[in-house]
């Protein structure tokens, strides 16, 4: 029997509900494939602020670094919105990504044939479906640059800085090219090279790395155009590689054209097999505790963990197939139901477990 220790960061809002769903799915798949998971919860975000006054306690960092992999729900909520920036729940998310060295964020966005009608794009635009792998740089750029307040031309001003080193661009570019090799062999690098110096270094470096991958086609796209192309012709994208902030924004847009932000999983990876897996959506405080949230993004994140951290391909595939089946059978949570019959979080989880 294979054994894995998984750190659980339930977090805030709907975080605990969706993480518990994914845990139940992992337990079920473990029974089927003879894998034993041990789950250890750690505090993060608002829950940690309430319990011990800080969003990312040291025990959490230590616990995550000692786990084989980590599953996270979501952090944040109105209760903590007025705290200063470095005490906000979101800061914990950035902190744990940095502490674990997770410079890569994989955010796959694909159109499930069963969800064609939930996609807000015109039928002819998505006639061929789409299957995009967004490779987002996760520990650099403006999220981690110098910031602060100062006196400027008009009095008090705030500033954040975007900076990227060649090394940071090289390593994320390699991830994108490697990933493209396993897919349709096409990388689109997204930047704002007509304005930003960081983007010009980004573009130049991506093309240098591209020379190591002559079998992969590479091209550039400006981020404003990319935002437009995503809704104009999403099937043109295979692998997208971009900076931390552009990736944050474009992945929300990509999720919406899959039908719901409740569908998109993500994997954050570094140099080891230990990753952090989380849905791309937030803590949805408006529906927290109501058993209404769509657990699929977190369940698919757990499947990504099986694949990327543990190399448990069969178990991962069986989760993905079960989600497919349940969607094909017409089951929907409220975010996808457009006012029609909707399953609760636990009912959707039960359905997926039944189809494993
Ligand atoms: C995401 C989120 C986070 C981010 C926030 C909550 C800090 O939006 O994972 O996409 O911007 O990275
Ligand atoms: Mg985001």
Q: What is the pLDDT of residues 244-257, one digit of tens each?
A: 999 999 999 999 99
Looking at 257, 281, 300, the residue that finishes a domain is 257
DSSP of 192-205, one letter per residue? -TTT-HHHHHHHHH
**Mean residue pLDDT across the chain:** 97
Tens digit of each residue's pLDDT (9 = 90 or more) over 31-63? 999 999 999 999 999 999 999 999 999 999 999
pLDDT higher than 90, residue 323:
yes
What is the band of 85 on the pLDDT scale with cuts at 50, 70, 90?
Answer: confident
Tens digit of each residue's pLDDT (9 = 90 or more) over 267-280? 999 999 999 999 99
Q: What percent of the chain has pLDDT over 70?
A: 100
76 found inside a domain: yes
pLDDT higher than 90, residue 242:
yes
Neighbours of 7 (CB within 10 A): 25
Number of folded domains that form the chain: 2
1 found inside a domain: yes
Q: Quick one: 250 and 306 in the same domain?
A: no
Looking at 196, 228, 257, the residue that finishes a domain is 257
15 found inside a domain: yes
Whether 90 lines ligand 1, by a CB cut-off of 6 Å, is yes
Q: Quick one: 41 and 167 in the same domain?
A: no
List alpha helices for the chain, DSSP H: 15-33, 46-52, 58-65, 89-99, 166-181, 197-210, 223-232, 244-257, 296-308, 313-328, 334-337, 345-354
Q: Quick one: 168 and 59 in the same domain?
A: no
209 found inside a domain: yes
87 found inside a domain: yes
Q: Quick one: 285 and 231 in the same domain?
A: no
Handedness of CA 27, 31, 33, 34 (dihedral sign): positive
Q: Quick one: 86 and 136 in the same domain?
A: no
What's 261's DSSP letter? G
Q: Quick one: 26 and 59 in the same domain?
A: yes
Terminal Cα distance for the chain, rounded: 19
Q: Quick one: 75 and 146 in the same domain?
A: no
Q: Quick one: 238 and 124 in the same domain?
A: yes
252 assigned to active site: yes
Looking at 206, 229, 257, the residue that finishes a domain is 257
Catalytic residue among 50, 81, 160, 224: 224
Angle of helix 15-33 versus helix 313-328 axis, rounded to 10: 120
Q: Quick one: 98 and 155 in the same domain?
A: no
For residues 103 and 114, give the distance between their C-alpha atoms in angstroms, rounded to a whole number: 33
151: domain range?
A: 120-257
Nearest-atom number in ligand 1 for the CA of 76 is 6
Q: Quick one: 243 and 293 in the same domain?
A: no
192 assigned to active site: yes
Whether 93 lines ligand 1, by a CB cut-off of 6 Å, is yes
Beta bridge mates, 158 = 149
Q: Quick one: 227 and 353 in the same domain?
A: no
Average pLDDT over residues 139-155: 97
114 found inside a domain: no
Nearest ligand for residue 15 CA: 1
Q: Determine which of 6-10, 111-115, 172-176 has the lowest per-residue pLDDT on average.
A: 111-115
* Residue 283: CATH number of its domain: 3.40.718.10
Whether 254 lines ligand 1, by a CB cut-off of 6 Å, is no
265 found inside a domain: no
Write the CB contacts of 96 (distance below 8 Å, at least 6 apart in sequence).
9, 44, 56, 60, 61, 64, 70, 72, 276
For residues 356 and 105, give the distance between their C-alpha atoms in angstroms, rounded to a whole number: 27
335 assigned to active site: no
Rounded to the nearest 5°, which phi and psi values hold at 285? -55, -30
Nearest-atom number in ligand 1 for the CA of 252 is 10
Tens digit of each residue's pLDDT (9 = 90 or more) over 201-236? 999 999 999 999 999 999 999 999 999 999 999 999
Nearest-atom number in ligand 1 for the CA of 75 is 6
Q: Quick one: 87 and 209 in the same domain?
A: no
109 found inside a domain: no
Task: Determine the distance separating the centroid of ligand 2 and the alpha carbon of 31, expressed in angstroms.
Answer: 34
185 assigned to active site: no
Ligand 1 pocket test target in 12, 13, 81, 90 with most atoms within 8 Å of CB: 90
Whether 248 lines ligand 1, by a CB cut-off of 6 Å, is yes
Q: Which residues of 318-333 are buried (b: 16+ CB within 10 A; e: fewer)?
A: bbbebbebbbeeebbb
């Amino acid at each position: 029997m294979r054994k894995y220790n998984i750190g659980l960061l339930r977090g805030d809002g709907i975080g605990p509900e969706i993480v518990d769903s994914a845990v139940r799915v992992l337990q079920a798949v473990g029974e089927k494939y003879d894998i034993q998971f041990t789950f250890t919860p750690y505090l993060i975000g608002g829950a940690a602020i309430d319990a011990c006054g800080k969003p990312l306690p040291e025990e959490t960092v230590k616990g995550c670094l000692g786990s084989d992999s980590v599953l996270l729900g979501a952090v944040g909520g109105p209760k903590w919105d007025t705290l200063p920036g470095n005490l906000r729940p979101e800061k914990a998310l950035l902190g744990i990504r940095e502490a674990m060295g997770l410079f890569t964020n994989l955010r796959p966005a694909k159109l499930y044939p069963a969800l064609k009608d939930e996609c807000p794009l015109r039928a002819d635009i998505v006639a061929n479906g789409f299957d995009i792998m967004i490779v987002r740089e996760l520990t650099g750029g403006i999220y981690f640059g110098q910031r602060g307040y100062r006196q400027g031309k008009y009095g008090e001003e705030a500033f954040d800085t975007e900076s990227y080193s060649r090394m940071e661009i090289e390593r994320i570019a390699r991830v994108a090219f490697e990933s493209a090799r396993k897919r349709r062999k096409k990388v689109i690098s997204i930047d704002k090279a007509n304005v930003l110096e960081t983007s010009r270094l980004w573009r130049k470096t991506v093309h240098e790395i591209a020379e190591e991958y002559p079998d992969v086609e590479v091209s550039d796209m400006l981020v404003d155009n990319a935002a437009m192309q995503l809704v104009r012709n999403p099937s043109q994208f295979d692998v997208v590689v971009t900076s931390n902030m552009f990736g944050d924004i474009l992945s929300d847009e990509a999720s919406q054209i899959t039908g719901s932000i409740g569908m998109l999983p993500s994997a954050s990876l570094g140099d080891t097999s230990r990753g952090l897996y989380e849905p791309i959506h937030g803590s949805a405080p408006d529906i927290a505790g109501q058993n209404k949230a769509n657990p699929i993004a977190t369940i698919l994140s757990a499947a990504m963990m099986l694949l990327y951290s543990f190399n448990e391909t069969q178990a991962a595939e069986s989760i993905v197939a079960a989600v497919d089946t349940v969607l094909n059978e017409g089951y929907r949570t409220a975010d996808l139901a457009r006012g029609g019959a909707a399953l609760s979080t636990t009912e959707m989880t039960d359905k997926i477990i039944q189809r494993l």
